[in-house]
Structure 1
Amino acid sequence: MTIHLLRLAVGADNLQSMRDWRRDHQIQWQGRPVVPTYTKRAPTRMAELLDGGCIYWVVKGFIQCRQRFIGFDEVQDVDGTGYCRMLMDPELVETLSMPKRPFQGWRYLKPEEAPADLAGGEGGDALPEHLMAELRALGLA
């Protein structure tokens, strides 16, 4: 059974900054390009995340995009502190915008609670980001 994760995109100002960061931080893992993100506490439901699960990113108070999970591994920093490295597909899929209050770390997200993908994929027929930001600020998106 599939489950997703919800995580704040700390430091991201908009979707373009998310795309740029992902492009600039790709690594090779098991012969394929992936984008890593790190967490102290490893998810206990990894098998469900790898069964079609995605990480849904909250950018400036709104769920705005997702990335599919590719794998997980354990890494250590130079001080020997262990972390869980979550490895995602480099493709960033835009979703319908959904407001989300701040939280720490990450949360599981049931598939039925996840926002739908935007029609037309990345960019597609969606409004430009600056218009979506104005609509969100007015509470209309």
Structure 2
Amino acid sequence: MQSNESEVATKSPTDEIVFAVFKMTKKANQNTIEIISTTKSNGKMKPEIERPIDSENYLTLEIFENDNLVQTKRVEHPLLKNVEYLNDNNQYVSKQVDLDDAEFFIRLQKKEGFTKVRIWETLKDTPKKELQTFKL
């Protein structure tokens, strides 16, 4: 029985998965973001499934390797959560909850070389703002 080489994920010795935890805080003029921790592990990620997010309020993460943009991700805005709950009439209702601070994490595939993440904030009826750039 022969193995099909196209099904086997090729992993170089420099492939790493990076888990980064961030904290976002609401401020009067501009929200702030800081990196709390990072964990690196050898390995190769499986393809991610695109999940629908709020199209008006979100963060955009631009991932650079050696100053080349290699990936762009959109993630749910950590301070603006849409929650569903059961009301008194036994019906599901959706509501937006505004938080003062929140933590969130990302995971990404890191290859050989220098990696940085630039984070942009998009809010309804306001221009897109760059929040911070982090080196991983």
Task: Name the TM-score, length of structure 1 as normaliser.
Answer: 0.24
Q: Is the strand fraction higher in 1 or 2?
A: 2
Decide which structure has greater helix share.
Answer: 1
Larger Rg: 2
User: TM-score, normalized by length of structure 2?
Assistant: 0.25
